[in-house]
Amino acid sequence: MRDVAIIGVGMNKQWGELWDKSLRDLFVEAALSAIDNAGVDHIDSMYVGCMSSGLFCGQEHLGALMADYLGQCPIPATRVESACASGGAAVRAGLMEVACGMSDIVLVGGVEKMTDVGGDEATFALAMAADQEWEAFNGVTFPGLYAMMAVAHMHRYGTTVKQLASVAVKNHANGAKNPRSQFPMKITVDTVLSSVMVADPLHILDCSPITDGAAALILCPADQARKLSKAQPVKIIGSGQASDSIAFHSRSDLTTIPSTAKAAAAAYKMAGKKPEEIQVCEVHDCFTIAEIMVTEALGLVEKGKGGPAVEAGETAIGGRTPVNPSGGLKAKGHPVGATGVAQLVEVAEQLRGESGDRQVQGARVGLTQNMGGTGASSIVHILEVM
Amino acid sequence: MRDVAIIGVGMNKQWGELWDKSLRDLFVEAALSAIDNAGVDHIDSMYVGCMSSGLFCGQEHLGALMADYLGQCPIPATRVESACASGGAAVRAGLMEVACGMSDIVLVGGVEKMTDVGGDEATFALAMAADQEWEAFNGVTFPGLYAMMAVAHMHRYGTTVKQLASVAVKNHANGAKNPRSQFPMKITVDTVLSSVMVADPLHILDCSPITDGAAALILCPADQARKLSKAQPVKIIGSGQASDSIAFHSRSDLTTIPSTAKAAAAAYKMAGKKPEEIQVCEVHDCFTIAEIMVTEALGLVEKGKGGPAVEAGETAIGGRTPVNPSGGLKAKGHPVGATGVAQLVEVAEQLRGESGDRQVQGARVGLTQNMGGTGASSIVHILEVM
């Protein structure tokens, strides 16, 4: 298995409600940005992470479509889908294609165009990450599912609504320093608690937004990185993925995300790293409770202590383990297929020292955690600057 | 790159309008059949090829869903989509996961549940394999697109409607010997030519059907195949994939499928084989004209001679190069995400000598060709019995 490095990163200039950009426009802009960042003159293969372009845009077959509009035919091009973990799954597919020697230079992109449909349709499309027959059909939505997890966590560990709100406050503070953010405004705990209730105890400011956006990486064998690119290479030293029952009724405990714990264990083992060696990370804060449960599952904080940790600033930039310096899904935005790729864009830039006002000083090892549904899929990557 | 072998194959007992089986039922039945065929006691990872479960069934996130219903959580599980080449793309993903050493035993399945929606909705969903903005939005359907290719081929090479019909006659004759076939009845050239016209010159019997079905393979490192399984192992000696412009307006020639020619060139090179060494193959006969153009692109017949070759029986069982002994998409059925996987099921069984009445005698090297859209994606695999 060859070691694999990231030699290029790219995103749209800004994520948000981008009504003047189509699905293909979004992807091509991010992909060209990554190709330009790497400085490569060709790519051998590409992957597109996307959850539900069929329902959002009436378009499947995104691999060929994007290769075409990127001017890259006849290279192999494939779409990968794992709900909101589609981006992370695309990264893992590209990693294995380089690792096995099938290709040298692989573009991994993620994209979602979510605002061409109304809110009801978007809620319907996103619910397809849950169990259609047992959850979605009966009217369950994602804010409702995560609200149940929040209530369980509050009941068992005493987690408070102020601690949930503290996640949003931290991530918007970080996102305010990120020019790509959809919602780059600082907020307070009071702003969150006085915002409209979506699914008790989650207010609208506990929820990540509906977003249009794309992100892309260029991967190559680590031993060719310095020859192929002038950019500072970042090695992917660990990759782990795990699944869990798609519906809540098959789980024994709603306060944990076992797939994240298992994906992390595999990634830590492959990387030869421990949680305390992670200096910066991007995690899947689709709802504020998710970030709390994920930091626990990753071993960054003790089980049940995710709430107090964020309240105490341990996961802020400058804290013990900065989490979501980009602003996370909460402030940067959450175009579901793009999120898992954008997490690696942020961590790679952090490890290169290119993150400006939101730079985590001296970070050399970082982690990304991307999640589908209520944790039925989790994908964790660990990165180290070369 | 480790060599990879197929050690288990499985499908539903029969493909067709399976109204008593859901999307997950179909997949689990085929997957259990492949696991049983291999005789393995666990799997390390899995892939699900599926084109449009979102539109057909209101369900995305198929990797986790199928891992769950197959009782295989917490293994990594990912969906792969390349329109009607989704199955082939899933095979290639599984191949690379084993080849790079990430996993040893990988299940690759494909599934599509297409009959829970009406004909108009199915046509709408399938049109998403084409360019939504330039083709589908303007009302183009797949029979219409392939009809244009047929007219161009007839104009340039003198291909006749009787030659098109001969593809259907051959494939239904083969399919009549396949207990899994959706339409296992023999037909004649007259039956085809007197069937209802769908898009001139394609009659309904020139078109593959709408089908519910699934197929699955178990892959492992070739050097562990005999230890892991009592089944006769079949090595995947070549894999190629290529893309092409998604819409017709960007192509210079409608009489060829360049992505198939390029994917085949890569697979032949990797395998160290030539077209004349292929003893059996399964190709993507979504419409009769497709099989003619594909046999030309694969180098099995001379350019422009695909029509006369099928009429002369060169591609029949017992002919020079038997094509679609399973009955192909035409007779066996075409659950789009499953097709590319089922092609390898058929060729592996042929190479093992397990194909009963439709056995191609003495075949040791076979090929599969799976295609998305009008050839915007093509994936070719070459198999050899160990």
- Overall average pLDDT of the A364-380 stretch: 98
Q: What pLDDT sits at residue A167?
A: 98
Asked whether B46 and B108 are in contact (CB, 8 A), the reply is yes
Same topology between domain A4-118+211-234 and domain A140-208+236-385: yes
pLDDT of residue A338: 98
Domain boundaries, chain B: 4-118+211-234, 134-208+236-385
Determine the pLDDT at residue B47.
98
Listed in order, strand segments (DSSP E) in chain B are: 4-11, 45-49, 77-81, 106-112, 197-199, 202-203, 213-221, 234-243, 280-282, 365-372, 377-385
Q: Of the candidates A52, A61, A75, which has its C-beta nearest B373's C-beta?
A: A61
B334 is catalytic: yes
Q: Mean pLDDT over all residues of chain A?
A: 97
- Of the candidates A65, A80, A377, which has its C-beta nearest B246's C-beta? A65
Total number of residues shown for chain A:
386
Structure tokens at A239: 């990759």
> Of all residues in chain B, what percent carry a pLDDT higher than 90?
99
Q: Identify the bridge partners of residue B380 per DSSP, sorted by sequence position.
A: B240, B369
B356: left (phi over 0), alpha (psi -120 to 50) or beta: left
Over residues B217-251, the pLDDT tens digits come to 999 999 999 999 989 999 999 999 999 999 999 99
Question: Is there a contact between A60 and B76 if contact means CB atoms under 8 Å apart?
Answer: no
Distance CA A63, CA A74 (A): 11
- Region A60-82: mean pLDDT is 98
Q: Distance of alpha carbon B6 from its chain centroid, rounded?
A: 16
Are residues B128 and A59, on separate chains, in Cβ contact within 8 Å?
A: yes
Q: What is the pLDDT of residue A271?
A: 98
Residue A53 in tokens: 């372009």
pLDDT value of residue B40: 97
CA–CA dist A48, A351 (Å, integer): 24
| Confidence (pLDDT) at B24 | 98
What pLDDT digit, counting tens, does each position of B361-370 carry? Answer: 999 999 999 9
Active site residue A57: no
Burial of residue A5, with CB atoms counted within 10 A of its CB: 0-12 exposed, 13-18 middle, 19 or more buried: buried
Q: What is the mean pLDDT of chain B?
A: 97
3-state helix, strand, coil in chain A (%, to 5): 45, 20, 40
For the segment(s) B134-208+236-385, the CATH number from 3.40.50.300, 1.10.8.100, 3.40.47.10, 3.40.50.2300 is 3.40.47.10
Of A60, A96, A125, the CB nearest to B129: A60
Q: Which residues in chain B are contacts of A60 at CB distance < 8 A?
A: 51-52, 81, 83, 125, 128-129
pLDDT reported for residue B36: 98
Residue B112 pLDDT = 98
* pLDDT for position A243: 98
Please list, residue by residue across B278-289, b when 16 or more beta carbons sit within 10 angstroms of its beta carbon and e when fewer do.
bbbbbbbbbbbb
> Hey, which CATH number is domain B4-118+211-234, 1.20.210.10, 1.10.287.130, 3.40.50.920, 3.40.47.10?
3.40.47.10
Chain pair A-B, CB pairs under 8 angstroms: 224
Give the rounded percent of residues in chain A with a pLDDT score beyond 90: 99
Chain A residues inside the 8 Å CB shell of B54: 52, 54-55, 125, 128
CATH-assigned architecture of domain A140-208+236-385? 3-Layer(aba) Sandwich (3.40)
From the candidates A172, A203, A284, A334, which is the catalytic residue?
A: A334
Q: Best residue in A55, A72, A73, A78 to probe B by mutation, most B CBs within 10 Å?
A: A78
In the numeric block, which tokens belong to residue B259? Answer: 């992505």
A245 contacts on B by Cβ (under 8 Å): 68, 73
pLDDT, tens digit (0-9, with 9 covering 90-100), for A145-173: 999 999 999 999 999 999 999 999 999 99
Q: How close does chain B come to A342, measured CA to CA in Å?
A: 19
- Predicted local distance difference test score (pLDDT) of residue A148: 98
Residue A165 Cα, gap to closest chain B Cα (Å): 29
CB-CB contact of B150 with B202 (8 Å): yes
Q: Given this model, what pLDDT does residue B319 score?
A: 98
Cis peptide before A258 (omega within 30 of 0): no
Q: Which two tokens stand for residue A244?
A: 């869990």
pTM of the model: 0.98
Cα–Cα distance measured from residue B97 to residue B105, given in angstroms and rounded to the nearest whole number = 9
- Mean pLDDT per segment of 10 residues, for chain B of length 386 residues? 97 97 98 98 98 96 98 98 98 98 98 94 94 94 97 98 98 98 98 98 98 98 96 97 97 97 98 98 98 98 98 98 98 98 98 98 98 98 98
Neighbours of A144 (CB within 10 A): 16
For residue B159, how many C-alpha atoms fall within 13 Å in the half-sphere facing its CB? 32
pLDDT reported for residue B88: 98
